[in-house]
Each structure stands twice: as C-alpha cells, then as structure tokens.
Homo-oligomer: A and B are copies of this chain.
Amino acid sequence: MKALVYQGPGKMALEDRPKPVLQAPGDAIVKLLKTTICGTDLHILKGDVATCAPGRILGHEGVGVIDSVGAGVTAFEPGDHVLISCISSCGKCENCRRGMYSHCATGGWILGNQIDGTQAEYVRTPHADTSLYPIPVGADEEAMVMLSDILPTGFECGVLSGKVEPGASVAIVGAGPIGLAALLTAQLYSPATIIMIDLDANRLAVASKFGATHVINSADGKAAETVRAITEGRGVDTAIEAVGVPATFLLCQELVAAGGVIANVGVHGHMVDLHLEKLWSMNIAITTRLVDTVTTPMLMKTVRAKTIDPAQLITHRFPLERIVDAYDTFGRAAETHALKVIIEA
C-alpha cells in the first residue's frame, strides 16, 4: 500500500509498504477514506519529536472503513465507517478510567508517532473498541476528520480547561487551525466576548467570519492594552494560548483577569517565564493538557445538530498520491492561507 513515511529530519516520502496486520485481540485494521495533516506532523519533520523514529508512517487523524478486527473487538465489524481518534485509549487503566485517555498506560498519542499512522491506505488501530467512533449514516465525513484531533484539542485544552461560560470574555492568542478550533467550540458556551489575537491579517479575517467579536493584530505590541480597553480594564476571564512560544504565554499572563484561567493549548519547546510575583495573589489557574478526546461523543452530537460546522476549517483537498504537495501547502500557510487540508485515500 501507499504510505507517507518519515525518513528523518526534513525528509519524507510516499513509499510502498505492506498492508498492516492484526497484532493483538483489541486491534482493528482500518482502510482510510480521508486523513489530514496536523501541526504536530510538521514538528516531527523538523526532528522535534524524539519518540518518532525514522521509518514511521505519519498521521494520527482520519476516517475510514473497518477492514478486519481482532478477536477481542466487540463494537465494530468490517464495513463500519469509523472516526479514528488521535489518542489510543485502552479503557481499562487507571488514567482511562478517570477520563485521562491521553495518559493511557498502553496508549495515548502513539499513532504516527510510536506506531505507524494514518497517512496511508490502511492503518492498524490498537484498542479499537475505545479509540474508534462509529460515524452516523449521512454524516459529512470530511467534517468528521476534524474530530480526530483539532476540534477536541481546541475544545478540551482550551474551552473546557478554560471554563468558558455564558456572558464571559475569552481571548485566544493564535488564530491558526487550533486557535480557530477553540474559537468555534468556545461558542458552545455562549461567551459575550471572544477576542482573537494574531499577526496574520488573513487569519484574523477568518476569525471574524468564524465568530470572534473582536480581532487584534498584535504586530504593534499593544495587544494587552487593547484587551484591557475592550474589557473595561479587567482583562479576560479565559486566555487561551494556542501558539506554544514564550512570548504568547507571556501575553496571556498580561491578559488574564483576577479569578481567570490561562488555558495552554500550544506545544512548547522551551521553558517560559511565569510572573508569580504579580500572579500569586490574582486567584488564577494555568492549565495544561494533551487532548484526551473524551468529548468526541459530545462533539459528534453538536456537529450532527449543526451547532458547529468544523468543515469550515477545510481549505484544500489532495489525493493521497499528492500528499507531499499537501504538506507543502499546509507548511506554507501564511502564503497559501491553508487551515486544514483533506487527503483522500
């Protein structure tokens, strides 16, 4: 089968690989219909993700059709259309039992990282019963691909950890796909004010279209000041960090109101400064989270009810044969205005 293989920092290629086989009773083999590329895939390509060795098939998102299942699988059978979660969850270990699937003892984020992933014609998914979700007949399968990772990430790590509430104020720092996913899902809780902050005018225009009540181009260094003006000097109830660098985390510390939350979504590669000399008395919380995908069923219901439309995030489509071009388009997002690209397998 065709599969996109990571060949070491800066290198990848579409290779011919053997179709995967069942290895454990809980496994399923899924024939991919559609997959996509995540910002994390770009991190792997840069060589920033130590757990991902050369030779690995990339990708941790997608929808597909069950090809075969192991003896222990009871929830699925060949022919079923399924959503593949980016997080593999055994459903048995202490962390899974408390809803923290991201830290599953034998799972977590392993697809396209520690085991072969979804940017291929077929993928082996461990713990299939608790890591795949049935796709309702008639659902928009492209929209469903957004539920593998990006939508639950924005929702769980940003909106839920950030305790967004009706009438509240939210600032989202970073209007990339993940920040926009937070923007879409924040509206499930009806905040009165959603301020989007970025350096890219195109992304801010998209944010306005997606429901931001205010957009701020932070190029002038006055974002914190502008947020204070919008919030009558208080700052925001929730500041969502959706970039992953020290400067944006610092900005969040300037934006958050007393009693508020800084919900970190960004993947950080470096230590950051935390101004506890100012924050110690401000009754705030700072949260971190690797997505658990525990809200996948909830999000599927809101998508089916058309409360949110994640298909808005899709800007480009490529066949699997042209996945390297898809990476190029996704990687040059500032020029191509790419948000999420769909790869059809």
Contacts and interface: CB of A to CB of B under 8 A. Distances in A.
How many copies of this chain sit in the oligomeric assembly?
4
A222 interface: no
Interface string A93-136: 01111111011001000000000000000000000011000000
Contacts of A277: 268-271
A238 interface: no
Nearest to A292: B283
Contacts of A274: 271-274, 286
Given A100-B258, A167-B298, A189-B189, A276 B271 contact: yes
13 contacts: A74-B90, A91-B130, A98-B259, A189-B190, A269-B277, A279-B288, A281-B288, A284-B287, A285-B286, A285-B287, A285-B288, A286-B286, A286-B287
Contacts of A336: none
A75 interface: yes
A229 interface: no
Given A94-B297, A97-B294, 16 more contacts: A25-B25, A26-B72, A71-B71, A91-B130, A167-B305, A168-B301, A188-B189, A188-B190, A192-B307, A213-B305, A267-B281, A270-B277, A271-B273, A272-B276, A274-B286, A285-B285
A244 interface: yes
A101 to B, nearest CB: 10
A264 B287 contact: no
A25 B71 contact: yes
A6 interface: no
A128 to B, nearest CB: 10
Nearest to A259: B100
B258 A95 contact: yes
Nearest to A275: B271
A288 B276 contact: yes
A307 B249 contact: no
Interface size class of A (residues with CB under 8 A): 35 or more
Given A190-B188, A268-B277, A270-B277, A290 B301 contact: no
A322 interface: no
A92 B95 contact: no
Contact of A74 (B92, B94, B95, B249): B92
Contacts of A94: 297
Contacts of A96: 91
A171 to B, nearest CB: 15
Contact of A290 (B75, B264, B281, B286): B281
Indicate the member of A280, A282, A305 with the most B CB atoms within 10 Å: A280
Nearest to A127: B92
Contacts of A2: none
Interface in A59-102: 71-72, 74-75, 90-92, 94-100, 102
A88 to B, nearest CB: 14
